[in-house]
Amino acid sequence: MNKLLPVFLFLTLVAGKLNAQQRPQYSQYSLNNYLVNPAISGIENYTDVRLGMRKQWAGLEGSPVTYYTSFHTALNKEDRNRINKNSMMRGTVKRPAYRVNKNNKFKKANSHHGIGGMAQVDRTGPIQNSTFNFTYAFHLPVSKGVTVSMGTAAGINQFSLNRALVTTVQSNDPALYSDRTNDVKLDFGLGTWIYSQNFFVGVSAMELLANTEQAYITNGLQQPGLTHAHYYFTGGYRFDVSRNLTVVPSTMVKVTKGAVAADFNVKALLAERIWAGASYRHKDAMAVMAGVNLSPMLDLGYSYDAVTSELRHASSGSHEVVLGVKLQNRAQAICPQWLW
């Protein structure tokens, strides 16, 4: 049976503010800031692969659902986590893998390049927005403990309408068969990431080739909408409370034409194995999240958002799952060194 048009209209009205925030939002952004900042490409000592799924406003028919996959890796990068072979020959006992990151004294790294790619599919009712990007970044140490990275992303952004999910008053409405129900545009983004073992600060701009009219179909009428550039400001600090406990407060501010959204996050990491946290999104949701670094290859995270906006009476919340895979992890690091 076709999705009922009133459901789609309801989503459009109550979520009108999301017409400005057109890119998907994520509660576990700290696990994969790469999705909004290409400067992170190649930041780790391994190939970082991520697969994620987010169900927004569960229980509400036609509500947004997002799927994504991403990877990025470093080129010509010195392994800062490698164990000194001479010290091992003198009888030094190798520390467990989960301690390598924190106990290994930082040495100024050589500059290096990073590359990667990502694909995101975001569906809301009959509308689907798909983005495919390749990224490049250059990491330049500016002091013994601080590195600055600059990156770029380029790809395509596709908007499409599933006509089978739209019910119109007029049968065979010509608007539904317009070429504008499937539109492909070029996508471009820029980013900067400043980081050390204790802090990170990021600024990025995505969809810089936007501001192009897209066709959305509602009730058999062509309703024009504009896509806009999205700007992200991110920062966080790592507090080592004890040898085995780390606390990381962070924030992300998202700005686009007509809308500003802010996320405030705090996460606690135990022995670099298990983590838990909470997040507040202004006038939108409160989230709890947890995860585990299962092995030097796998990690898993889950978050639940309790809606605080006007949708709280119609939705049972939002769910998000992220699976991480570390490839070419020669140091056998359990926890990421730079993205905590």
Can you say whether the dihedral through the CA atoms of 72, 76, 80, 85 is positive or negative?
positive
* C-alpha–C-alpha distance, residues 228 and 70, integer Å: 23
Cα–Cα distance, 45 to 33 (Å, whole number)? 16
In whole angstroms, give the CA distance from residue 160 to residue 103.
50
Residue 123 has pLDDT above 50, yes or no: yes
pLDDT of residue 172: 60
Q: Mean pLDDT across the chain, nearest whole number?
A: 80
CATH superfamily name and code, 5-76+96-327: monomeric porin ompg (2.40.160.40)
Q: For position 99, what pLDDT does the model report?
A: 41
Which of 340, 318, 300 has its CA nearest to residue 197? 340
Highest mean pLDDT among 2-6, 77-81, 289-293: 289-293
pLDDT at 221 over 70: no
| pLDDT over 50 (residue 152) | yes
pLDDT band at 175 (very low <50, low <70, confident <90, very high): low
**Phi-psi label, residue 11: left if phi above 0, alpha if psi -120 to 50, beta otherwise:** alpha
Residue 96 binned pLDDT confidence (cut-offs 50, 70, 90): very low
Q: How confident is the model at residue 8 (pLDDT cuts 50, 70, 90)?
A: very low
Strand, helix or coil at 179?
helix
Token pair 């999910």 in the structure block, residue: 165
- What was the pLDDT predicted at 210? 64
Is the model's pLDDT at 60 over the cut of 50?
yes
Residue 76: φ, ψ to 5°: 45, 45
Beta bridge partner(s), residue 246: 240, 269
